[in-house]
A and B are shown apart, each in its own frame.
Chain A
Amino acid sequence: MSSHLVLFEEEHVQIVGICDALHRDAVAKAVFLVDKNGQLLANSGETASMDTTSLASLTAGNIAATGGLAQLLGEKEFAIQFHEGEHDNIHISLVGQRVILVIIFDQRSSLGLVRLRVRKASAELAAVFEVIHTKAQQQESSVFSEITDDDIDSLFGDG
């Protein structure tokens, strides 16, 4: 099994498209897709003023902690979390045990609508990630196999 998550242009375009559609259909403020290790994979909506890197890392920490709680209780996973704020709300769900889908929404939308739209988008995303997973396993060498020691040294100013 490949130990890296590799995202190619084709699948990236697809997941961004799914996030854009979800953003629109759920009347959300923003949609994020994060991998379980805290890497941001895609985002859509009003994200310019948000610290997306921090958001991704904290979401992954949150999911990891909740997963730990689930195991203590003998549950496999708590697949959905919802946090209600004064103005904004966050809906967090796991897609195919691999990635985390985050929706930020306000009073223009509702939890019911978000849940409904998330269900559809999750199925679509799960299918794309199945392809990503298969591609990663088939890929024998990456551009990084051509990295030289000099490339690495120059990155650190030692070259």
Chain B
Amino acid sequence: MSFINYSSREINCKIVYYGPGLCGKTTNLQYIYAKTNPEAKGKMISLETETERTLFFDFLPLSMGLIRGFKTRFHLYTVPGQVFYDASRKLILKGVDGVVFVADSQVERMDANIESLENLRDNLAEQGYDLDKIPYVVQYNKRDLPNAVEGAYLREYLNPTSVPDFDATATTGEGVFDTLKAVAKQVLIELKRGR
């Protein structure tokens, strides 16, 4: 649910990065944070465990510029990927405007990817959203690793509806901004349609 403030002329939208544990959701946000001008970003918050695993969420507010005189802001959130944090994941999806599914390209993480994607669909449905109808993109992360699965195989299992998808290596930033731009664009197009 985006927030449109006619008084301060602002649009605020919420994008959630979803995916299995250790797929690189937090790394995506860290790269965006590192590469964004100080005036366009707020503080990045990470609620994590002592071992730096996401406990509740990461949060990064970004300003994207003006559209029809309105300041356009995106609030980026990650969910905790580990299976047992499902209750927290559901909470973070509340009011979401767009979703990025970050897949781990490593062959041994395929089952975890598929499980997480099904979990995303179920948790969205519980909040009254249909994954096939909301702004949604897929990112295949860790493309640089030697045990990465072929793109066609990932696509077949993780993107059967052929939404925009991107190869990425979040540690070096490859594909990170392409992914963000694609989902942000879809969110604005939805806003235009008056969803």
Contacts and interface: CB of A to CB of B under 8 A. Distances in A.
Nearest to A63: B91
Contacts, number: 118
Contacts of A155: 64-67, 72, 188
Given A38-B14, A61-B56, A156-B185, A7 B68 contact: no
Interface string B58-89: 01010011111010100100000000000110
A53 B61 contact: yes
A7 B65 CA distance: 20
A145 B192 CA distance: 4
Interface of A: 3-9, 12-13, 35-39, 41, 51, 53-54, 57-58, 61, 64-65, 67-68, 141-147, 149, 151-152, 155-156, 158
B57 interface: yes
28 contacts: A3-B195, A4-B3, A4-B4, A5-B1, A6-B6, A7-B7, A8-B6, A8-B7, A9-B7, A12-B5, A35-B3, A37-B3, A37-B94, A37-B95, A38-B14, A38-B95, A39-B3, A41-B5, A51-B43, A61-B57, A61-B91, A142-B194, A143-B68, A144-B11, A144-B68, A144-B194, A147-B191, A155-B65
A3 B1 contact: yes
Interface of B: 1-8, 11-12, 14, 42-43, 45, 47, 56-57, 59, 61, 64-68, 70, 72, 75, 87-88, 90-92, 94-95, 181, 184-185, 188-189, 191-195
A48 to B, nearest CB: 15
A149 B92 CA distance: 29
A155 to B, nearest CB: 5
Contact of B7 (A12, A68, A145): A12
Nearest to B189: A152
A150 B46 CA distance: 35
B178 to A, nearest CB: 10
A13 B194 contact: no
B195 A39 contact: no
A7 B4 CA distance: 6
